[in-house]
């Protein structure tokens, strides 16, 4: 995820590579990032506190305390915005670790790697409008952005964080259905993928409600209503709802464990 954000920021000219410092423990990864994006690299985490605008935390939640201890946080003339994409680490914990820094918590998702992500931002108590604007500009580089109160972050995780996996399963199932109907696997897979992509683009462009689009495709006594009836009988809609709820509840559990 960190590389996806980095690549888009550099490609879109929001930051020059020379303006970015990446702390990476693996020598081969440091070399790759330096050569690919022209960024500065280091293996020394405290060096990242030289950031003037933003410090992005893209580490495993389990090593959060270790990394914070390495940073040796101390008073300085100005404080960069701390941006955390750590799942399950609340703003209260971030603020306790960075008591004099403005902090935001962000939940992006995997389509960010192709610039089609969805990111939700929650702001800490000391965040000013220009801090939020900076965070928004960074994550707009990888897709769409919404701001939400932190109380909704677990819901965001269940929907847009876990959602790509649910959509992938649906695409796979559509393709399998095509194969069951006699289509070659390669053609079925292409049809399924483009159908989902095209439907999403149509709904985004026209701002049509999902139910309205479904009604437009469903003619009386036709093929689509026969399929929709099966989806309802098999509780497809309920299964998706319960999947999001389960992911939401698991996000809450993980947050309490960390």
> In the structure, what pLDDT confidence band is assigned to residue 215 with cuts at 50, 70 and 90?
very high
Q: Binding site for NADP(+), residues?
A: 58-61
Q: Binding site for NADPH, residues?
A: 45
End-to-end CA distance of the chain, in Å? 21
Highest mean pLDDT among 14-18, 66-70, 78-82, 224-228: 224-228
24-41 pLDDT, tens digit each? 999 999 999 999 999 999
Give the dihedral sign, CA 133/129/85/164: negative
Mean pLDDT of 214-233: 97
Q: Binding site, residues?
A: 45, 58-61
Q: Is 235 exposed, middle or buried (0-12, 13-18, 19+ CB in 10 A)?
A: exposed
The whole-number pLDDT of residue 38 equals 95
Domains in the chain, ordered, with CATH? 2-149 (3.40.50.720), 163-257 (1.10.3730.10)
Total count of residues recorded for the chain? 258
66-97 pLDDT, tens digit each? 999 888 776 666 789 999 999 889 999 999 99
pLDDT score of 119 more than 90: yes
The whole-number pLDDT of residue 70 equals 87
């Amino acid at each position: 995820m960190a590389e996806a954000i980095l690549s888009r920021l550099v490609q879109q000219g929001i930051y020059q590579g020379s303006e970015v410092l990446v702390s990476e423990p693996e020598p081969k990864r440091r070399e790759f990032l330096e050569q690919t994006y022209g960024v500065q690299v280091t293996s020394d985490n405290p060096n990242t506190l030289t950031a003037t605008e933003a410090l992005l935390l893209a580490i495993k939640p389990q090593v959060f305390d270790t990394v914070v201890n390495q940073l040796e946080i101390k008073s300085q003339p100005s404080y960069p915005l701390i941006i955390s994409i750590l799942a399950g680490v609340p703003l209260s914990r971030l603020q306790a670790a960075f008591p004099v820094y403005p902090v935001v918590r962000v939940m992006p998702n995997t389509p960010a790697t192709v610039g089609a992500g969805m990111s939700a931002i929650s702001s800490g108590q000391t965040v000013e409008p220009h801090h939020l604007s900076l965070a928004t500009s960074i994550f707009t580089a990888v897709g769409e952005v919404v701001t939400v109160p932190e109380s909704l972050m677990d819901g965001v995780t269940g929907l847009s964080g876990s959602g790509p996996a649910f959509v992938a399963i649906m695409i796979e199932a559509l393709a399998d259905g095509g194969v069951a109907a006699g289509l070659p696997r390669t053609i079925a897979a292409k049809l399924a993928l483009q159908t989902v992509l095209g439907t999403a683009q149509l709904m985004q462009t026209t701002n049509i409600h999902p139910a309205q689009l479904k009604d437009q495709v469903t003619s009386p006594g036709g093929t689509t209503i026969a399929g929709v009836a099966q989806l309802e009988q098999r509780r497809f809609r309920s299964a998706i709802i319960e999947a999001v709820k389960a992911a939401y509840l698991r996000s809450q559990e993980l947050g309490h464990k960390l």
